[in-house]
A and B are shown apart, each in its own frame.
Chain A
Amino acid sequence: MLSIFSYLKKDQHAQMHTFEAVIAATIMIGVVIFAVHATAITPLTSSTASVHVENQIHKTGQDVLSALDHSDESRNSDLKEDVLRWDGNHYVWAGDEYFAAGNRSNVLENSSIATALDLVAVNRGIAHNVEFSFIGPDDSIATSVYIYSGDPSNNAVTASRKILLSNSDFDDMNITEFAKNTSIIDADNGSDFYNIVDIRLTMWRM
């Protein structure tokens, strides 16, 4: 025991050893901390995975709108029919169906958009808003809500599809009542042109 103490007393280089070891450890720890802050793969940061998920949802939304807007020569597309049949209310999802906000007895029926979103979005936990943008008075762009599920998150994506409305599309309908209920006005009284409606579908993962 005494010999150990005497040996230690003689070894004057140990302080440098310790100092160098501490510095080396400090360098390694500093680099690890730098690496952790610099990389983009922590779960809380925006990563490749979430970008791909957003792209997937965006493509899904675009494909849904494109499919609904398909039509043959002699009839309107399902998307156009949904706009023409709209009563002006905005609808919310109630767990098994869409009903008008503030009026549970007014259920959204015969809506191709609602049916498609029920199949594609609801079952996968994707929240969605559907809005109609159109030309308003004085050539301004007005927006009305069709389906509302809440404020979108930062990772929300928006797909859109435009449709053309002409006066001849309202042959079986009251055009004045449609304009009054939906605010989609006749943007040109001098021709058969009625309006262009941009259907905007915003989707985000809950």
Chain B
Amino acid sequence: MKKMDECGQLLLIAGFAIGLLLLISTVLLNSIIFTSNIAAESSADSTGYDTANIIQLTSHAFQEAHENDRSFNESYLERFTSKMKLMYAHSGYIVSITNGSFYDPYFTENGQSDGNLNWTVVKSVENVSDFTITIPENNFTESEHFQIKISGLDNELFWVMTLRGIESGVNITVKNSTDLIYSSENSSTYLDLDIIENSGYNYEENTQNGPYHIQFVNGSHAEGYYLIEGELAGGMEFKTSRKYMVDADISLRSDERIVRISVPVSIPINND
């Protein structure tokens, strides 16, 4: 004990050990904080918001630029794309937008053949002033049918129109919750249905106990256009339509990442 008491080296070693321990703890703690800071910075990435914004802008531009039938106002589109490049350049992005050809939409939610085939087109409708369905070339097979369904807020059935493929064309039936209201066969390849004007469909009589939802069922079985216009519960007017689809090819490039997407844009019916 006397010998050890005379050696202060133990004290020095203890000092070094404590110092080393503190150093290692500091380095580890710094690494943890640095790593979590880097992770936190990555969650601040706004590319998702920028992409959603550019998709919405492009959709609006295509809808504004749409002219008669299947054509765009090329001057509008050209100005739009050049000014978009200018605006995004100031944010550090290189933007490229090109449009594809027009094509007929399906009655699915996104207009594509693989889109959501059973969907609600309009919710909480009080009344409808205009409701047209146009199928330019019906090619229903006998196993396919497309339905326009009107159901109440508790999902009770008010009215349903079914277009079913038959050997000679299309069978159109209309039912309410209890009875068959209308039935006819149509051999024409072109179907133009005005649901409000055709009194045989009894649409208004069966939808008086609104508000209700307008739904498309099996929308992937039919290609065509629709226009629905009216008033929502609460008094707000609404109008929804789809006539064509066009694919927008968008490229958004920065020094960190490149985003290339192709988005189907729905073109509404113009009331020109």
Q: Which residues on A are within 8 Å of B, measured CB to CB? A: 13, 16-17, 19-21, 23-25, 27-28, 30-32, 34-35, 38-41, 47-48, 51-52, 54-55, 58-59, 62, 66, 69, 72-74, 133, 135, 139, 141, 157, 159-164, 166, 168, 187-188, 190-193, 195-196, 198
Contact = CB atoms under 8 A, between A and B. Distances in A.
B171 to A, nearest CB: 31
A137 to B, nearest CB: 13
B53 to A, nearest CB: 6
Given A20-B9, A24-B16, A160-B91, 14 more contacts: A23-B15, A34-B23, A34-B26, A38-B26, A41-B29, A48-B40, A52-B40, A58-B44, A69-B56, A72-B240, A135-B83, A157-B44, A159-B49, A168-B64
Given A51-B40, A196-B87, A62 B239 contact: no
Interface stretch (B73-81, B132-140, B250-258): B73-81
Contact of A73 (B12, B33, B73, B268): B268
Contacts of A21: 8, 11
Contacts of B190: none
28 contacts: A17-B8, A20-B9, A24-B11, A24-B14, A24-B15, A28-B15, A31-B22, A35-B23, A38-B30, A39-B26, A39-B30, A39-B33, A41-B29, A48-B36, A51-B40, A52-B40, A69-B56, A72-B238, A73-B240, A133-B87, A161-B49, A164-B60, A164-B80, A166-B76, A191-B75, A192-B64, A192-B76, A198-B91
A52 B39 CA distance: 10
B12 A24 contact: yes
Nearest to B27: A38
Given A24-B15, A74-B238, A192-B76, A55 B44 contact: yes
Nearest to A38: B26
A168 B87 CA distance: 21
A21 B15 CA distance: 9
- Residues of B contacting A: mostly: helix
Contacts of A135: 83, 86-87
A62 B46 contact: yes
Interface in B3-48: 6, 8-9, 11-12, 14-16, 18-19, 22-23, 25-26, 29-30, 33-34, 36-37, 40-41, 43-44, 46
Contact of B44 (A38, A54, A73, A187): A54
Contacts of A39: 26, 29-30, 33
A40 B34 contact: yes
A155 B30 CA distance: 21
Contacts of A192: 64-65, 73, 76
B40 to A, nearest CB: 4
B261 interface: no
B92 to A, nearest CB: 12
A187 B52 contact: no
B167 to A, nearest CB: 38
Query: Could you say which of A35, A168, A187 has the most chain B C-beta atoms within 10 Å of its C-beta?
Result: A35
Contacts of A164: 57, 60-61, 64, 80
Contacts of A58: 44, 46
A60 B37 CA distance: 19
Contact residues on B (Cβ < 8 Å of other chain), bracket: 35 or more
A196 B83 contact: yes
Contacts of B83: 135, 187-188, 193, 195-196
A117 B199 CA distance: 50
When A and B form their complex, which 9 residue pairs have the shortest distance between CB atoms, in order from nearest? A24-B15, A20-B8, A31-B19, A74-B239, A35-B26, A193-B79, A191-B75, A17-B8, A188-B79
Contacts of A188: 79, 83
B86 A139 contact: yes
Given A31-B19, A41-B33, A20 B12 contact: yes
Contacts of A32: 22
Contacts of B64: 164, 166, 168, 192
A134 to B, nearest CB: 8
B80 to A, nearest CB: 6
A193 B80 CA distance: 7
A35 B12 CA distance: 20
A165 B79 CA distance: 12
Contacts of A13: 6
B25 A35 contact: yes
